[in-house]
Structure 1
Amino acid sequence: MAGRYVAIGDSFTEGVGDWNKSFPNGVRGWADRVAKQLGRQDPRWEYANLAIRSKRLHQIRDEQVERALALKPTLVSLYAGGNDILELRTDMGALMREYEAMVARIARAGARPLLFTGFDIPLSPVFEPMKRRNWLYNDHVRRIARTYDAVLVDYWCFDEYSDPGLWDADRLHMSPAGHRNLAAHVLRILGVDHSLTPRLPEREGYAGLVAGLRRETTWLGEWVVPMFGRRLRRITLGDELQPRWPEPVRPADGMKRLARAQREASVRARTSGGG
């Protein structure tokens, strides 16, 4: 049966790590892959994606929830709070009350919420204190999913994500293989027949202590330090970005074709506006 799927959230749902210049914002992601398979099941399925990287939970609440519900969705996927968990000053109790209020709003509007727990990303010991916060987050998400009859994707249980090959170079976002694998999980949980075959990368051999330390130092310098630097300056990688699919499209019409049409429409709008 066809419906309208709207995705909201941050970089996890925008598709960061699944880099592809053919798609809006230069990424594809698991949500696009899910939408494509829904369109194959029934070409009447429609899809919008309002997620933007770096958004915190209150921004998703203020900027995306009502906009999503105005599209009259039947299914709304939500992942929010990951960026807040990285901030040690975050009040987790208050955060999860805000999260539950969002889920309740979605459910009251008649859409089925699709929720995600968070995975214990295999990072440096620098981030070990975040695990307990992630476990608390996950406990709340599971309870909220039961309360509001939401579809739950218990991402925390997917042991294959301990494989570094499912993560991008920053170790915070999934690689293309990770996005594809997650899309297959989501479709399985939704009970949707699909043609996605997870392609797990081959494990890397042991690089040695010196090479391992060099890799950790490079990662800290190229990804971790800049990330916290942006937080101190109160800027994010999503500040200049717009939602990838702001209006519903039909994935059965071809996602790349739709993306090309969207780019052409944007160019025409800028040209006519400047004339």
Structure 2
Amino acid sequence: MSWDRILDETLAARFEAERGRLRAIAQRMLGSTAEAEDAVQDTWLRLARTDPAEIKNLPRWLTTVLSRICLDLLRARAARREDPTGEPLPEPPPEAAGDGNAPEQEALLVESVGRALLVVLNRLAPAERVAFVLHDSFAVPFEQIAPIVGRTPVATKKLASRARRRVRGTASEPPEQLAGHQKVAEAFLSAARGGELDDLLAVLAPDVVRRADPTALPPGRALVARGALTIARETTVWGRRARFGAAALVDGAPGILIAPGGRLSLVLSMSVTQDRVTAYDVIADPARLATVKLALLPDGER
């Protein structure tokens, strides 16, 4: 066996050892399993065309190359205005497998990364997303991130900090009240997923009001509904969407986002009084969705 062949096989083996980490980085940056796999493969192709003697630190080299590929893809996506956070998606058919009409791999991505986090990451500018993912999720130092995003280490730190503030958000309620309202939002989501009328009635105030954008409802459905029983019965019908839901901060207060495959379809902005939902708006119009501030709840990424 030739020395060049041995070098090629050694390099390939070292790349395979890094593949899982690279895939995880790309998935968070791009929010798509298919695009992440393409980015990882492109990284391998670039490695195959590079003299190994020029690479002093292979993991760092691979991270840098992959991140630049992802950054270019994110910038191209933004230039085409293909922002996935404001486009309503059709209701997935009952027979759809996995996470709605997304393939099984996309469902696994949502499960591993977190539905709410994927939605919030989609709202970051490309350089913000790259800096935040590399530093906060994979502990890459700012000195390494800086040349990737074309900024100084100090500017890169500010970039990641700005992204972190957007991801974490700012609650409009004191911590104790926030925690209580979060439990109510999660209980409503759980009841909607289960489709049990009694569970829904337990979390809805008797005089609850539901308002909705026209695009959020089937034709002919009233834009405003009143009363716990009416809304509970309605929710048992649309509850199939609830399996694509996650609790999140919606304009600073606990609410619910619906995101098949991690792509935002609609938002429920909720009002809670005495541990009951007293009103909620179903926001599905793209223009309105674009103005809603979304962030993670304080207790995690899911």
TM bin (shorter chain): under 0.3
Structure-2-length-normalised TM-score: 0.23
Q: Which has the higher helix share?
A: 2
Q: Which has the larger radius of gyration?
A: 2
Higher relative contact order (CA 8 A, sep 6+): 1
